[in-house]
Chains A and B, each alone.
Chain A
Amino acid sequence: MNTPGNPDPARLLARALGPGGLELTCEECFAELDRYVELELAGSDADAKVPGMRAHLDGCPACDEDHGSLLSFLRA
């Protein structure tokens, strides 16, 4: 947890610099989200089949939450 006055430097760097390499946009992420999550649930290599998705989820907390929500809902 990033608390004012005591931030974790590694987390600060990760949040500030984001992921390196190919990354989808938020719009592309949303368009691919249903396919990506179904591939994950099927045990398929979703990251290989949807390049740039993992990097975007690592870099965008909001899209990462949406991804977690869909995954959790379908697993519930």
Chain B
Amino acid sequence: MPTETPGAGPGLEPTADPSRSLHRRLASVGRERDAAVVELHALLLRAARFEVNRRGGSLSHLRRGDFEDLAQQSADDALLAVLAKLGEFRGESRFTTWAYKFALLEAGVKVRRRAWQGREVPLEDGAWLTLADAGVTVQHEVETRDLIGALREEIERSLSSRQRQVLVAVALNDVPIDVLAERLDSTRGALYKTLHDARRKLRAALAARGLDLDRRDREEEL
């Protein structure tokens, strides 16, 4: 249960959580539930519109009506997800905050996929070799150049083909992981697990070569 009172803002009701009432009514039956579902959909649509409009810059080829369609689809899908997972709400946040994240997720994924629609997703392993070379110049520290050189070798040596594919697409070519998941018929979670395992392998291989990644991590945190 939450022990803090969240900061107030237009998206957060400042007093005792009225969204608990919505959660209770959604779990009821009959007209009360029907009205609660309509209320929930309106909230989800507000969140979806916010997200679609916020990310609209990547969708300059779309018309205004397309934005609204994306928001409506996102709210519809989020509504189904929220209703299906209603029993998973643990009361550790406001119910509306919990519900909003489904709408924002749906809208974000849809916008990213629409932005990449028709675009080629670079999956070529060898892309790493060229780009890593291009980025390292004599101005960079010897340590950085050594690390990138070793990293390049370990990407070739230590990773599986699938791990290289995901690492290069997501970490090097900035392909959104949801877009890659759609193209590879996978999920965000599964691909991130692949990426995570690849990173762990690379870290272990570089550490075995005597490269101090812990110090580098500490410096990045400063």
Chain A residues proximal to chain B, CB less than 8 Å = 2, 4-10, 12-21, 23, 25-27, 30, 33-35, 37-39, 41-44, 59-62, 65-66, 69-70, 72-76
Q: How far is the CB of A44 from chain B (nearest CB, A)?
A: 5
Contacts A35-B2, A42-B5, A62-B188 hold; do A70 and B101 have CB atoms under 8 A apart?
A: yes
* CB proximity to A under 8 Å, residues B135-178: 135-136, 140, 144-145, 147-148, 151, 155, 167, 170-172, 174, 176-178
How many A-B contacts at CB < 8 Å in the complex?
152
| Contact of B148 with A9 in the complex, beta carbons under 8 Å | yes
Size of chain B's interface in residues, with CB distance under 8 A? 60
Known: A17-B199, A18-B171. 9 other contacts (CB 8 A): A7-B132, A16-B171, A17-B213, A18-B199, A20-B203, A23-B196, A73-B51, A73-B100, A76-B9
Contact residues in A for B171 (Cβ distance below 8 Å): 12, 15-16, 18
Contact residues in B for A75 (Cβ distance below 8 Å): 9, 11
Contact residues in A for B107 (Cβ distance below 8 Å): 69
Partner of A73, one of B104, B136, B196, B214: B104
- B91 to chain A: closest residue by CB: A35
Q: How far is the CA of A74 from the CA of B100 in the complex (A)?
A: 9
